[in-house]
Amino acid sequence: MTPIIAPSVLASDFANLQREVEMINTSQADWVHIDIMDGVFVPNISMGLPVVEAIKRHAKKPLDVHLMIVQPEKYVEAFQKAGADTISVHIEACPHLHRNVQQIKSLGCKAGVAVNPHTPISSLSDLIQDIDLVCLMSVNPGFGGQKFIEHTYDKIRALRAMIENRHTKTLIEIDGGVNQQNAKPLLDAGANVLVAGNFVFSSSNPKEVIQRLKEVS
């Protein structure tokens, strides 16, 4: 299966955000990944609704919005209106996760659930059939440029087995530390979607980097 590539604009040049989004438009990327941080759930603050709206005005690819925030149910409708196509909420921030997932679906968006490195995949077993995408964090969320956590491979394989046993079409997204060296092992383990931030935007030729990721098989 050809991977879905989702460049993370958290690593882009915010002073030239339109240019960065237009680069993604003309690349082989499939989605635009947008990290929303509130400084509470994670120890950092990134961007909010006005930036998502601005990206949507220029983006020709679907917006994959990752909410690293507390009480996401208060904001998912606003992010849908801002242009989100997929909205992922953290299992650790949602004591009523089924309700959160159904809320996202009711807005016409694909529902994703993000999982921190310390959270076991078994936590999803009662809900996997309702989830469109699982975003496995392969770094601790909050900052870009971190080292990939090797245990992620085991979690991918366990999640892939769960998905196949339940006969769902849930996608597995990997977020954090993705590069050319680990892309193929991640896909071989069962991942579908690769989020890449610094690896893409720190390159002198981001479109070429995206192309190389897209061609991994």
DSSP string for 80-140: HHHT-SEEEEEGGG-TTHHHHHHHHHHTTPEEEEEE-TTS-GGGGTTTGGG-SEEEEESS-
What is the Cα–Cα distance from 192 to 177, expressed in whole angstroms? 16
User: Alpha-carbon dihedral of residues 58, 30, 216, 211, nearest 10 degrees?
Assistant: -30
The three-class DSSP label of residue 175 is strand
Q: How far apart are the first and last CA of the chain?
A: 7
Asked whether 37 and 46 are in contact (CB, 8 A), the reply is yes
CB atoms within 10 A of CB 57: 9
User: Which residue numbers are catalytic?
Assistant: 35, 175
